[in-house]
Structure 1
Amino acid sequence: MLTRRTHPTPHAPRPARRTDVVVVGGGTAGLAAAGRLTAAGLGVTVLEATGRIGGRMATVHRDGFRLDRTGQLPLPGTPALPRPLRLCRLSGGVLLRGAGRTHRVGGAAPAGDEADDHAWLHSSLARLRHCPEARLRAWPELTAASALSARGIPPGIAERSLRPLLTALLHDPELDSSSRLGDLALRSFARGGLSLPAGGAGALPELLASRLPAGTVRTGVRATEVSTTAVTTHGHGTFRCRAVVVATGAAEAARLLPGLRVPAFRPVTVLHHAAPGALPSGAALVVEAADRGPVTHSVAASAADPSRAPGGRTLVTSVVLGERAAEPPELLDKAARSQLGAMHQAPADDWELLAVHHDPQALPAAPPPYPAVRRARLLDGLYVCGDHRDVPGPPGDLSSAARAVQALLKDLAGR
């Protein structure tokens, strides 16, 4: 039996509660696992340490704005996204803004030198759209950065277009991620473009939670010890069960499960601004292609999803990656103003800063060799899921939850 012991709490012991499965973590992975277990007829209790569900996918409501804590865009080609999650398409595609040049990926063909970039990218993405995953995984695995120079891509196109596009899709400014992950992200983009969840990123965990029986999720309950048959909590007693699923972030999972691998992480800071009116950029992901400031990419989120801002105002959500993500919010905001004005082609001096969300462990790094998935079953009765066991981001949360539940149900059936 694998356990993690901590110092006893000063609270008086409480009677043990019993359920079939305890899921530790009320984020996307935990809620997805709980939904599958409930559908299989098991009694489930979800324990969330904070006062809210959703984890990094939570959306904060403020003065009519819906502000995401994450800057990651779900790719519509991802089969794991549950229905009926509604996605608002970024109909303007991707705008690559450089010094004195703009190139649109996924829109009308430009003229001049940029036409060569457009034609090359259009034909390459069209081929990638129909490429089987098995063939992608057969290509030599490099870092995404090395693949740009090793695959015969014209150097100008690689630097002007593909590098900034991959940086935004992978949230990786150095492109140290596996080229396989980059290939899969580009293929998903080629197949479905980019979208925002209607109502904010929190719509995904809220949808998953809405499918659970009342009382399944308990917030403000922090697990201190887990085993195959029980979860001990801080101040809320012990929950007895037939199996435990740890569905937290990697660092918290390793605290509960000593010896579990903890990956390196990619930090992300999200800036939310309110602009006084519509912006020329429209419903497009605007990607910085000239290194003019701290922002990597930005989107007028309410242009695609009007529910994110009150009438007459535009919510601008911008993402800072790498070392600059750790800078103080006031310095980032000051440094980003002129850059955002150039990216969206509208003065940004009078934009209101609504919120800044910094997450030093926003996404697990995925350098080569990229294993794609890691085992979900640790012992009969003890399972782990989350994007640190799969593809970084919500798709990894969802697919790893499915694998953990599959292993759990198989074990229960064999007892």
Structure 2
Amino acid sequence: MSENDTDVVVVGAGLAGLRCARALVDRGHDVVVLERDDAVGGRIRTDHVDGFALDRGFQLLNPAYRAVRRWVDVDALGLQPFAAGVAARNDDGLVRLGNPLAAPALLLPSVRAVLPRPREVLAAARWAAPLLRARPGRRLATSLTTASPRRDVSRREALDRAGVDGLLRATLDSFFAGVVLEDDGSTSQAYALLLTATFLAGTPALPEHGMQALPAQLAGRLGDRVRLGTAVDSVETVAGGAVVHAGGTTLRARQVVVAVAGQDAGALTGPDAEPTPRTKGVVTSWFAADEAPTDSHLLFVDGRSRPSGPLVNTAVVSNPAPSYAPAGQHLVQASALLGPDRPVPTEDDVRRHAGELLGADPRGWRLLHRHEVPHALPAQPAPLALRRPVRLRDHLVVCGDHRDTASIQGALVSGQRAALDVAAALAR
């Protein structure tokens, strides 16, 4: 036995890998986490530029996620919530829609927007009806998927079947485009409803010190078990365990957990890995402004019949999250989709469209940074595969949001499932 021998090697210090490592440490196992980058977090990272906090791709944390409530010290993150709604620039002007239970100030604007549209409201209610039909005592995800998975269709088809059109259809399509990073309605209806239920249950927010505070908190509980700047070259399963080759170092372990992004996992897990799901990309531009373009805490989307630019959403982030900007300055984010058939939008197009949606003159904004994230989220087509297996073969497990739902919830749950599988194998 060499000095490098350990019970478990976890490759990757994103949310899934960190949760897996923590669960195993809590069970008394020796764990080493190897991370190729200079910080933990995977796709959840925060850059600091001129006193501004810039997340790599606009992201929000919903405290209503079960996994977050269970495994994260939410209070310690100092969450700064957005308003529970959306501002949609439509053909007639700007409308504000939201959850009046979470944001009472949106009650009257929402009523004014939907009152002249009773047919649209009824159609939207038909679309969301499965949320009400979920069986009591069962988790919503299970009710929406395992009960009758063949009924799951694309979000576009479900909205069409329900007859949702007009203002509400345009607003829903625009909002979901920024959440699931697609504007063709190809995402599973079941997944769209799961997200809807989560938005109704909790208000998305930003941690005081940026989104990277979330993985940093998880890693802080692991201490020196996390080794940064350590790229793994290969993973080899052998009789009685596995061998991990990383930068000239060989580590032997009884179990290995590959907790890297889906598009990278196959290179380490070998030919028996399941096909990697397609991914969706996003580009986020961050602008500094001397004056706030609006005092709204809402996310702004383009709900017009013919959108005038590339953005799926924009927001003055420093309104709900003042810690993201230095005193006297304001931070604007503007996000657009990336993909093989999409040209990367120019700064001029992004700036113009963001100003148009916010109703402000963007010419004085200063570009701070532009994050291009080509593999931001795994696609979630219908029928929704709620949970993919984590065990690939003896001594080798894989986890990440590509094994569960494409979300913070999915990443944490996948890490926990991997840990339980590994713990059971170690006990045999």
TM-score (norm 1): 0.88
Among 147, 157, 161, the residue aligned to 2:158: 147
Q: Which amino acid aligns with 2:154?
A: T
Q: Secondary structure at the match of 1:145?
A: helix
1:76 maps to 63
Question: What runs of 5+ residues in structure 2 fail to find an aligned partner?
Answer: 99-105, 135-139
User: Within the alignment, does 1:38 sit opposite 2:25 as a pair?
Assistant: yes
Choose which of 299, 321, 330 in structure 2 pairs with 1:314.
330
The one-letter amino acid paired with 2:80 is C
Determine what percentage of the aligned residue pairs are the same residue.
33
Residue pair 1:326, 1:358 contacting (<8 A) in 2 also:
no
- Matched-pair contact (CA < 8 Å) for 1:93–1:194: no
- Residue 202 of structure 1: aligned partner: 212
Secondary structure of 1:57 counterpart: coil
Contact 1:70 1:270 in 2 (8 A): yes
Distance 2:113 2:36 in 1: 54
* Secondary structure of 1:239's aligned partner: strand
Give the distance between the partners of 2:413 and 2:117, measured in 1 at CA.
35
Structure 1 contact 129–190 (Cα < 8 Å) conserved: no
Cα displacement string for residues 101-131 of structure 1 (whole angstroms, at most 9, x for unaligned residues): 2221212333656434599389949977766
Cα deviation per residue 1:351-398 (whole Å; 9 max; x = unaligned)? Answer: 111111111111111111211110111223211100111101222111
Deviation track 1:224-246 (CA, whole Å, cap 9, x = no partner) reads 22134334334231111111110
Counting only pairs closer than 5 Å after superposition, residues 128-147 of structure 1 correspond to structure 2 as: 132=134, 133=140, 134-137=142-145, 138=147, 140-147=151-158
Residues of 1 paired with 2:168 and 2:112: CA distance?
18
Name the structure 1 match of 2:115. Answer: 115
Give the letter for the 1:120 counterpart: V
One-letter amino acid of the counterpart of residue 409, structure 2: P
**Counterparts of 1:350 and 1:57 in 2: how far apart (Å)?**
29
Instruction: Select which of 89, 97, 103 maps to 2:89.
Output: 97
Match of 2:107, SS state, is: coil
Q: Which amino acid aligns with 2:245?
A: T
Task: Report whether the alignment pairs 1:215 with 2:229.
Answer: no
Scaled by the length of structure 2, the TM-score of the pair is 0.86
Given candidates 347, 363, 376, the residue that maps to 2:361 is 347
More displaced stretch, 228-237 vs 349-358: 228-237
Q: 1:384 aligns with which of 383, 392, 398?
A: 398
Name the CA distance, whole Å, in 1 between partners of 2:314 and 2:295: 10
Q: Deviations over 1:235-259 (max 9, x none)?
A: 2311111111100011221001123
Shift of 1:274: 0.9
Local SS of the residue matching 1:316: strand
Partner of 1:280: 294
Instruction: Give, in whole Å, the separation in 1 of the partners of 2:202 and 2:93.
Output: 26
Contact 1:103–1:114 (CA<8 Å) still a contact in 2? no
Aligned to 2:196: 186
- Structure 2: which amino acid aligns with 1:223? V
Give the whole-Å Cα distance in 2 for the aligned partners of 1:345 and 1:196: 24
State the Cα RMSD in Å. Answer: 2.5
The one-letter amino acid paired with 1:136 is L
User: Residue by residue, what CA displacement relative to the aligned partner does 1:45-97 show, whole Å, maximum 9, x if unpaired?
Assistant: 11111222111101011111111012232333211113323332112621112
| Shift in CA distance, 59/117, structure 1 to aligned 2, threshold 3 Å | farther
CA offsets per residue over residues 183-226 of structure 1, 9 Å max, x none? 111111122233223321111111111111x3211111111221
- Greater alpha carbon shift after TM alignment, 306-315 vs 377-386: 377-386
Moved more, 116-125 or 39-48: 116-125
TM-superposed deviation, 1:332? 2.3
Q: Which amino acid aligns with 1:278?
A: A
- Segments of 4+ moved more than 6 angstroms: 125-129
Structure 1 spans left out of the alignment, 5+ residues: 1-14
Matches within 5 A, 1:9-48: 17-48=4-35
* Deviation for aligned residue 1:348: 0.9
Aligned equivalents of 1:121, 1:45: Cα separation in 2:
54
SS of equivalent to 1:268? strand
Which residue identity is paired with 1:145?
R
Compared CA separation, residues 364 and 121, structure 1 to 2 (3 A): farther
Aligned match of 1:12: none
Match of 1:225 in 2: 234
- 375-384 or 70-79, which deviates more: 70-79
Check conservation: 2:295, 2:319, Cα contact below 8 A. Answer: no
Could you tell me how far apart the structure 1 residues matched to 2:341 and 2:323 are?
27
> How has the CA–CA distance of structure 1 residues 51 and 325 changed in structure 2, closer, same or farther, with 3 Å as cutoff?
farther
Q: 1:279 to 1:108 in 2, by over 3 A?
A: farther
CA–CA distance in structure 2, aligned partners of residues 131 and 316 of structure 1 = 40
Which of 42, 61, 65 is 2:48 aligned to? 61
Counterpart in the other structure of 2:102: none
| CA distance in 2 between partners of 1:195 and 1:368 (Å) | 28
Give the Cα–Cα distance (whole angstroms) in 2 for the partners of residues 62 and 412 of structure 1: 45
Match in the other structure for 1:4: none
Match of residue 177, structure 1, among 162, 187, 190: 187
Contact 1:20-1:43 at 8 Å conserved across structures: yes
Matched, 1:302 2:289: no
